[in-house]
Chains A and B, each alone.
Chain A
Amino acid sequence: MQFGIFTVGDVTTDPTTGRTPDDTERVRNMLTIAKHADEAGLDVFATGEHHNPPFVPSSPTTMLGYLAGVTTNITLSTSTTLITTNDPVRLAEEYAMLQVIADGRMDLMMGRGNTGPVYPWFGQDIRQGIPLAIENYALLRRLWTEDVVDWSGKFRTPLQGFTSTPRPLDGVPPFVWHGSIRSPEIAEQAAFYGDGFFHNAIFWPMEHTAQMVNFYRQRFEHYGHGQADQAIVGLGGQVFMNKDSQRAVSEFRPYFDNAPVYGHGPSLEDFSRDTPLTVGSPQQVIDRYGKFREQVGDYQRQLFLMDHAGLPLKTVLEQIDLLATEVVPVLRREAEAARPAHVPANPPSHAERVAAARAAGSLPEQHVAAADHWTGRTAEDDLEAADAVSR
């Protein structure tokens, strides 16, 4: 089972000091956090994508491309990639490029985005969120799996004879998750393609999460990708730890009470009861998170939100250390002991996906980019190409 962290990339004033980092500092902190998570031995770092303040991560592949170069083991991912307002052609190109640069040590998670004005800024309409997610992802898949694509649809200009480059690493596209909190259509989409389903449970009661995950599992089996318990599931989580559980509560409370999403609402105690938020000792986190498999089944990825609500960098790095040394080894051991042999331990790695594609005989011949017949050369330079085109 994989354990990692995901970040929203919010710029929030630290309520205990009144200090607000600027955008540059926040971006650099995100890089430090990701490198630290890699060094601490966590499995995944995922960044959000936003196009409005107070969030800084607008350009995930730039960030993840850099991190691919300065980290060694951690899987780089997104939480989430906006499949609605991004051009699927650019997504196909950018994430194939990231896949090559990261040598396959990446995957990505599709999400719709729920900020109304972002849609019109990118020429779209939030009321078309589900149809956009469906059409754009269907095109993205074709761009990764077919060398030359002719396509027309409702939401972008048609394509004739388009080839997305670079072609995916080893001819196998990145693994894709679909994230949704309350739209069963997205669980249906993930199940249809046999992709992963991620439920960001941090603002929701676990009963709701379990209903959505179990719906996805049933549909995954319905579409013939395996048994329901073999579907690939990820969950969001949120913790704040101190070896002294009372100190964890007193340290986190001002951040909780002023947090952008739930601040000034329910009490820390109520919210901890109703959602996966756990504030206390590492053992309390182990006790709580070790039980989620009883509600959602054996799952493959658990991500934690750690750098948010204005928590200072030093605190975030300490939290990562506690997570990596005190919590994850125990949770991993428990999950591994409980997991039936036919259930995958992890989401599929790039190497496993290549091996599976080879075994299925679906791997294309090694792709060599054809000569560019359209730009950069004249017909006189390339008589053979000109000849081919005119034929």
Chain B
Amino acid sequence: MSERSIVVISAGLSQPSSTRLLADRLADATVTELAARGITARVHNVELRDLAHEVVNTMLTGFATGELATALEAVKGADGVIAVTPVFSASYAGLFKSFVDVLEPDALSGVPVLLGATGGSARHSLAIDYALRPLFGYLHADVQPTSVFAATDDWATAGGDDSHPLPSRIRRAGRELAETVADREPSAPAGLYDAVPSFSDLLGPA
């Protein structure tokens, strides 16, 4: 049985948080679908609330330490990423963007990403498409076609939507991410300086 690493980024601020709840559901769906394809998923949860001070310090000092450094390493080595943020003032949470800002520039390049967001009402659901997708497009992430927005109503018994209740949207999104991750080679742990060109390449033709 092969193995893949799934990193789940959750930017909810309250405790407990519906953002984390959605992130956990998306992770469960992905893990289940990967298991059905004979793949074991290692899930690494990155709870941004716990890293908030470290994220700001990193923006000021330029280097990450402790738990944040571990989280950044996990993202760099991820086979798939689930990124979920609350919608604040019509866009992703500031803490979510700050975390994205301290990622290394190529950390998500080519990485399959499932996007999720939460909000008070379904009127914010397009925030995923006008705010999150362009951001992850810039990062060259492989954003999956289905993303999941959960409003407060969605947590009602019927999932807030008679034809596409939240559980079915979560299953579909998890299946898409699992399929993409399963189709790719596992990300190899690259040596820190493997990609450094030799000096004769740097020097160019004499």
Contacts and interface: CB of A to CB of B under 8 A. Distances in A.
A188 B202 contact: yes
Closest 3 pairs (CB-CB, A-B): A265-B60, A192-B199, A266-B57
A189 interface: yes
A252 interface: no
Interface of B: 56-57, 60-63, 65-66, 192-193, 196-199, 202-203
A17 to B, nearest CB: 24
Given A184-B193, A185-B196, A188-B196, A208 B63 contact: yes
A131 B199 CA distance: 11
Contacts of B61: 203, 261-262, 265-266, 271
Given A134-B202, A184-B193, A205 B63 contact: yes
A72 B23 CA distance: 66
Contacts of B63: 203-205, 208, 274
A235 to B, nearest CB: 16
Given A185-B196, A270-B65, 15 more contacts: A134-B203, A138-B203, A184-B196, A188-B198, A188-B199, A203-B62, A215-B192, A215-B193, A215-B196, A262-B60, A262-B61, A265-B56, A265-B61, A266-B60, A266-B61
Contacts of B56: 265
A130 interface: yes
A192 B199 CA distance: 7
Interface residues of A, number: 25
Nearest to B191: A215
A127 interface: no
A218 B66 CA distance: 28
A314 interface: no
Interface string A199-224: 00001110010010001000000010
Interface string A251-292: 000000000011011100011001000000000000000000
A126 to B, nearest CB: 15
Nearest to A114: B62
B154 to A, nearest CB: 39
Given A138-B203, A185-B202, A188-B196, A270 B62 contact: no
B202 A189 contact: yes
Max count, chain A CB within 10 A of own CB: residue among B63, B192, B198: B63
A211 B192 contact: yes
A265 B192 contact: no
A208 B63 CA distance: 10
15 contacts: A130-B202, A134-B202, A138-B203, A184-B193, A185-B196, A185-B197, A185-B202, A188-B197, A188-B198, A188-B199, A205-B63, A205-B65, A264-B60, A266-B57, A270-B65
A197 to B, nearest CB: 13
